A and B are shown apart, each in its own frame.
Chain A
Amino acid sequence: MQPLSITAFTATCAAGAGRAELLRALDTGRTGLAPNDFGREPLKTWVGRVAGVEESPLPADFAHYECRNNRLAWMGLRRDGFLDAVEAARRRHGSDRVALVLGTSTSSIGATEEAYTRLTPEGHFPEDLRYQAVHTPHSTGEFLQRVLGLSNVGVTVATACSSSAKAYAQAARLIELGIADAAVVGGVDSLCGSVLFGFNSLALVSPEPCRPFDAQRAGISIGEAAAFALLEREGKGPRLSGYGESSDAHHMSTPHPSGRGARLAMNDALARASLGPAAIDYINLHGTASLKNDEIEAQAIAEMFPAHTHASSTKGWTGHTLGAAGALEAVVTLLSLESGLMPGNLNTRELDPTCGPQVRLDNASGRVRHALSNSFGFGGSNCVLLFAAE
C-alpha cells in the first residue's frame, strides 16, 4: 500500500494523559493500574482508571452527549495539540474531505446502565437520561464528528478488542479510494459494569495487576482510554505502512488454538508493506494476560519472527482498554518509533515457557524502524497495524 502519514497523535489512559506522561510512565516502569474503586460494589480486581473524568464536563452545546465515554473522548482530544491539528487539516482539505472512524466496544453503555439503576416508579428512564444520543453504539462517533466539525464519513467500528485497530484499516481504504483526504481515527472505551462483571463471569479477570506472558498469569486487568491519530496522504510524522485483518472462524470468546487468525493478520500486514518478519524491530503484542491469548500469541511470535525482534504487551501499564486498545497501543508503538524505547512486560516476573526470545521482561532502547501492533478480539476478529519511522 501507499504509506500514509500520521501527522498528529495522542493518547490518554491510566498510565498518563498525553504522550509525554505516557512515555515517562513506560520509561520508568510506573503502572497506571490500581485497586478497583469503580461502581457501587466494586469487583475485587485492579483497573486502569483515568483520573479526572468526573470533573471534565462536555462543552455546554454538547450536554446531550454527557456520559463517561464521551467525556473521556473530549479529555483525550485536548492533549498534544490534537484539536488544533484537526482544525488545520479541516481548513487544508475541507470539512467534507476529513473522515472520522472510531473504534469502541463499550461506547456510552455506562449511561444506559446508569439509567436502569434510576428508573422512575413507572419504569421509565430518568428525565436527564432520556436522550437517544447516549443510548446507541454510535454515540461517541457521532459526538466526535460533530465536536470536530467534520462532514465526510462518520462511522463506528465495534468489533470488540480489535475495533480501533480496524478503524485505521477502514480509514486507510477511504483515503486510498479518494473518498477522504485525511481521517481522524481513534478508540475510546470506558469502565462500566458490563465489561467488569462480564469478563469476570468468564473467569478472565485477574485479582491482582495483570502480568502479561507470566507463567503464573491470572487474567486481565480492565482499563479505559481515549487515543487518536490523524492520517493524511502527505506530511511530517511516522507512517502507517500496512494493516492486516482476518477472522479466527473458531469460537466467540476463545482464540483459535494454533493462532491461525493472528498469523493471517500479521502476514497480511507484512505483505501489504512488502516486508519480511526480519525487518520488524518491535511488536506491541495483544498480550491480555489471559491464559489462552498469551499462550497462543507467544507461540505464533516464536515461530514467525527472528530472535532480534523485541516483543511485549504494555497492558501491565494501561490495563486492557478493550475497544480502545488498538488505538492506544498504536500510539505506544508510534512513541517507540520516535523515541527508540521498546517497553518490556511490566508486572511480569517469570516468562511463560512458550515465549521465544522475542518476548522481553525489561525495557530496551535502540533504533526502531518498523513496528507492529497486534489486536485480537472476541468473535475472532483480528487486526494488525504496521508502522514505519518517518
Chain B
Amino acid sequence: MNLLRTPARLHVNGVALWSQRLPGWERARQVLAGREAAPQEPASRPAPELLPPTERRRAPDTVSVAMEAALSACKSAQLPPASLPCVFSSMHGDLTITDYMCSTMATTPTLVSPTKFHNSVHNAAAGYWTIAAECTRPYTSLSAGDFSFGAGLLETCVQALAGNENVLLVAYDIDARGPLAPVAASKGLLSVGLIVSPQRGPRALAQFDLEVVSGSGLQPSRARPENAALVAGNSTESCLPFVEALALGGTHDLLCLATPTLGLKLHLEAA
C-alpha cells in the first residue's frame, strides 16, 4: 500500500556522480550504459572549485566529494546553487576525521585541532557548501545506516513536494581509516548529486512516480554486477541502481530502501 496520501510525480532536473572509477557524470553515463570502459587508473580526488584555492587541498575528503557533486548537479540543471534547499546524506560522515578525533582523545585530548573539531560535525560538508554557494536556504544532514541514500532521497522528495520546488540531494561516503575501519567499513570515495522537483526543469533527465511502501521482505533493486563492482564497499553504493537507470535511459521500476522495512517504489521514465 502506498503510504503517500496522493500519487506523486517528480522530475530529476539535475544529476552528478563522482567516484574514483566514475569521475564525473559524462564519463559515468557512458560507463554505466556499457558504452565505454571505466578508467583503469583511479582518478585523484576532485578539487572543489567553489572553495578558495588555499582551502581546496586542505578540505576533508567528504567536503571535496560532496561539493563536487553539489556543484555539478546545479550545473547540470542550470540552476543557481544559492537558490536550492539541500539534503546531505552520509552513513558515516568523515571517517578520516573520526579516526583523528578518537585517536587524539585516547592520547593527547588537550591538543585536539580546533579546525579538525569543527570539521568533525556530520554537517561539515553541508556547511561548507552553503557558505561557498552563498545559500541561505535550509539544509539538513542525515544518516540512516546502510539506508542513508534512500533516507536522503525520501527526505529530498518530501521537501520538493512540500515546497513545490527544486531540492538538491548530495549523498556521499569515503574510506574508513585506522582501527575503526573493520567495524565501520566503507571503501573509496563516492558522491552523487540529484536535483528533484515536482516541476519539470529545462534539462530534466527523467521523471518518476513515487510510492512509499512498507513491509518485511522488501527486495531492493540491484545494479548490473559490472557496475556495482565499480563502487562496491562504499556505504553510499545503494545509489547505483537509481543512477544506472538514469544512465541507461528508458523505463525502469526500482525499489530503494530508506530503512530495512520502508521503501521508495519508483516508476522511472527517461525524459
Q: Which residues of A contact B (CB under 8 A)?
A: 41, 43, 96-97, 105, 109, 112-113, 115-117, 119, 123-125, 129-132, 135-138, 141-142, 145, 151-160, 166, 170, 173-174, 176-180, 193-194, 197-202, 245-253, 260-261, 264, 377-381, 383
Known: A123-B179, A249-B130. A155 touches B144 (CB 8 A): yes
Residues in chain A near residue B179, CB distance under 8 A: 115-116, 119, 123-125
Q: B136: which A residues are within 8 A, CB to CB?
A: 246-249, 260-261, 264
A135/B183 contact (C-beta < 8 A), A260-B136, A381-B123, A381-B126 known: yes
Asked whether A378 lies within 8 Å of B127 as measured between CB atoms, the reply is yes
Measured CB to CB, the nearest residue on chain A to B151 is A155
Contact digits for B121-136, partner A, Cβ 8 Å, 1 yes 0 no:
1111011101101111
Of listed A252, A260, A379, A383, residue having the most chain B CB within 10 A = A379
Shortest Cβ distance from residue A382 to the other chain B in the assembled complex, whole angstroms: 8
- Which interface residue of A115, A173, A197 has the most chain B CB atoms within 10 A? A197
Write out the residue numbers on chain A whose beta carbons fall within 8 Å of the beta carbon of B68. none
Query: Mask for B87-131, Cβ within 8 A of A = 1, else 0?
Result: 000011100001001111110011011100111111110111011
Contact A249–B106 (Cβ < 8 Å): no
- Given A178-B4, A194-B101, CB of A152 within 8 Å of CB of B183: no
Q: How many residues on the B side are at the interface (Cβ–Cβ under 8 A)? A: 66
Instruction: Establish whether residues B180 and A135, one from each chain, have CB atoms under 8 Å apart when the complex forms.
Output: yes
Min Cβ gap B196→A in Å is 14
Q: Which chain B positions have C-beta within 8 A of A132?
A: 183-184
Q: Determine the chain A residues whose CB is within 8 A of the CB of B258 once the complex forms.
A: 153, 155
Distance in angstroms between the alpha carbons of A193 and B100 in the assembled complex = 13
Min CB distance B197 to A, Å, is 15
Is the Cβ of A105 less than 8 Å from the Cβ of B121? yes
Contact B112 A198 (CB under 8 A): yes
Instruction: For the complex formed, measure the closest distance between the CB of A306 and the CB atoms of chain B, giving whole angstroms.
Output: 26
Using A117-B106, A160-B123, A201-B117 as known contacts, say yes or no to A249 and B134 having CB atoms under 8 A apart. Answer: yes
CA distance A138 to B82 in the complex (A): 29
Shortest CB distance A226–B (Å): 18
Would you call B139 an interface residue if the criterion is a C-beta within 8 Å of the partner chain's C-beta atoms? yes
B130 / chain A contacts, CB cutoff of 8 Å: 247-249, 379-380
Instruction: List chain B residues, Cβ under 8 A from A200.
Output: 110
**Residues of B close to A380: CB separation below 8 A:** 127, 130-131
* Chain A residues closer than 8 Å to B118, beta-carbon distance: 198, 202, 252-253, 378
Indicate whether B217 reaches chain A with its CB closer than 8 angstroms: no
Q: List 10 A-B contacts (CB under 8 A).
A: A97-B3, A138-B145, A156-B143, A159-B140, A173-B162, A194-B117, A198-B114, A247-B137, A249-B131, A379-B141
- A377 surroundings in chain B (CB, below 8 A): 121, 123
Bound Cα distance A250, B142 (Å)? 21
Is B138 interfacial (CB-CB < 8 Å)? yes
A338 to B189 CA separation, bound complex (whole angstroms): 50
A178 engages B3 (CB within 8 Å): yes
Chain B, Cβ-Cβ closest to A379: B127
B86 to chain A, nearest CB (A): 9
| A310 → B minimal CB distance (Å) | 27
- Given known contacts A178-B3, A252-B119, what 12 new A-B pairs fall within 8 Å (CB)? A41-B109, A109-B98, A117-B105, A124-B179, A151-B214, A155-B142, A158-B123, A159-B122, A159-B123, A194-B102, A198-B101, A377-B123
> Are B106 and A247 neighbours in the complex by a CB distance under 8 Å?
no
- Chain B proximity of A133: nearest CB distance (Å): 9
The docked-state distance in angstroms from the alpha carbon of A109 to that of B117 is: 13
Instruction: Give min CB distance, A201 to chain B, whole Å.
Output: 4
Q: How far is the CA of A383 from the CA of B85 in the complex (A)?
A: 14
Q: In the assembly, what is the distance between CA of A145 and CA of B259, in Å?
A: 10
Contacts of B101 in A (CB 8 A): 109, 113, 194, 198
Determine if B166 is an interface residue (Cβ-Cβ < 8 Å): no
Q: From residue A41, how far is it (CB to closest CB) to chain B in Å? A: 7
CB distance from A95 to the nearest CB of B (A): 9
Complex formed: what's the CA distance from A177 to B123 in Å?
26
Complex CA gap A252/B59 in Å reads 13
Would A153 and B262 be within 8 Å (CB), given that A197-B110, A249-B131, A261-B136 are in contact?
yes
Question: Bound state CA distance, A156 and B127, in angstroms?
Answer: 17
- Interface membership of B72, Cβ < 8 A: no
Which of B40-48, B153-161, B224-232, B244-252 is found at the contact surface with chain A? B153-161
Q: How far is the CB of B172 from chain A (nearest CB, A)?
A: 13
